[in-house]
Amino acid sequence: MSSQEREGADSAKRPNGPRSLPLRLLLGIVHAGSWMTGLPLPRMRPGMKLFMKGLDAAAALRVEGKAVWKDIAVTADDGRIIPVRLYRPESAGESDKLPIVLYFHGGGFALGDHTARHRYNRAWCVLSGCMLLSVGYRLAPEHPYPAGVEDAYDVLKWASLHASRLGGDGSRIAVAGESAGGNIAAVTALLAKERGGPDIACQALLYPAVDLTGGARSSAQPSLRENGRQYMLTLRLLQQFASGYAPKEHRSRPAVSPLLADTLEGLPPALVVTAELDPLRDQGHQYAERLRRDGVAVEYRCYAGMIHDFTAMMPGWIPAAGHSLRLAATFVRRELAAAGGRMPFDEDPECSPGEEERTALMDYILRERSPELMVQEEG
């Protein structure tokens, strides 16, 4: 069989490609810059940061409300300095002690930083009504596992003890993140459980990378094969990220691949969002199912026709992306409100596209039965 015939046979087995014109244009831009993926990870950073900042400026969700922000430095117990960007809703009073979201950016544990998606972070802050701390954890390969997750856990400890000085409520903390940041959020929740705190009220995991063993589980995760060649996040990139982050013998550890933990019992309520055309789709779905099976309250949503990182890349252009961001922020807002205290405003803030969203709301809360793979259609 020729290479063209093989490609045609593979395409016949794949899900339908993205229908959204902005998404298809984005994939064209990504394809034009695909030469960068042959570079060592540190040399990819300048181009990737420019790409992320450009998308953030052009495609961030427009919200009714503003956030004020400042850069702070968190000092870990060993004296290590962790950079953090703090966001606070402008609508909050000076005396309000706001619940806290620790947010971890994506980038394969090696790319991006805590400032690259500034407008996206501001939207998260406004929509959730929380103080948002965007964490500048150390990056691989210069700082492999466990450097990044220890930075995350140290910021969690700091926030629980000291955030009140900045207007935060250290007794109400959520963790959230996308892709590799979703991994770090999930692992931070695991570490907090294993180490006896600090308490985490909930976790919002956007297309998380929760299994770094890759090919060892590919038969159980068809999305790796279906979506691992043409939708930006390729199998080659996944392997490059995993190799830079942790040696092969460490990748089955729960603190690297939380999907492989013996038990997830006792973890905080979770929202897991996946995308139909993402190679990480199946592992995210399996993590939601594992959480449910181990008695954790879970909400799961898979968005049809979407690719990896859709929420953060184009929330202002694609209705499904804007909806997924609003979904995650609302989930965190609701869970933190249930944990006690008050929010700075009573009503959910409006956001564009708001009422014009053409997506059908298909909430799927995992309760007493095994979930099917539910998708949200984009109109």
The one catalytic residue in 151, 154, 211, 278 is 278
Which residue in this structure is represented by tokens 């030469």?
35
Q: Is 309 a catalytic residue?
A: no
Q: Say what angle helices 41-59 and 235-245 make with each other, to 10 degrees.
A: 120
Q: Is 56 a catalytic residue?
A: no
The one catalytic residue in 128, 134, 160, 179 is 179
Determine which helix (DSSP H) or strand (DSSP E) holds 186, and give its type and residue range.
Answer: helix 180-194
Question: How far is the C-alpha of 126 from the C-alpha of 64, rounded, in Å?
Answer: 8
Q: Dihedral angle at the C-alpha atoms of 359, 361, 362, 364, nearest 10 degrees?
A: 130
Question: How far is the C-alpha of 141 from the C-alpha of 184, rounded, in Å?
Answer: 16
Tokens standing for residue 285? 């779905």
Of 158, 306, 317, 286, the C-alpha closest to 221 is 286
Q: Is 179 a catalytic residue?
A: yes
Q: Are strands 131-135 and 81-89 parallel, antiparallel or unpaired?
A: antiparallel
The one catalytic residue in 114, 285, 308, 323 is 308
Q: How far is CA 379 from CA 190, 269, 302, in A?
A: 37, 30, 15
Task: State the Rg of the chain over Cα.
Answer: 19
11 DSSP 8-state letter: H
**91: exposed, middle or buried (C-beta count within 10 Å: 0-12, 13-18, 19+)?**
middle
Tokens standing for residue 171? 């007794």
Question: How far is the C-alpha of 340 from the C-alpha of 342, rounded, in Å?
Answer: 7
Known catalytic residues are: 179, 278, 308
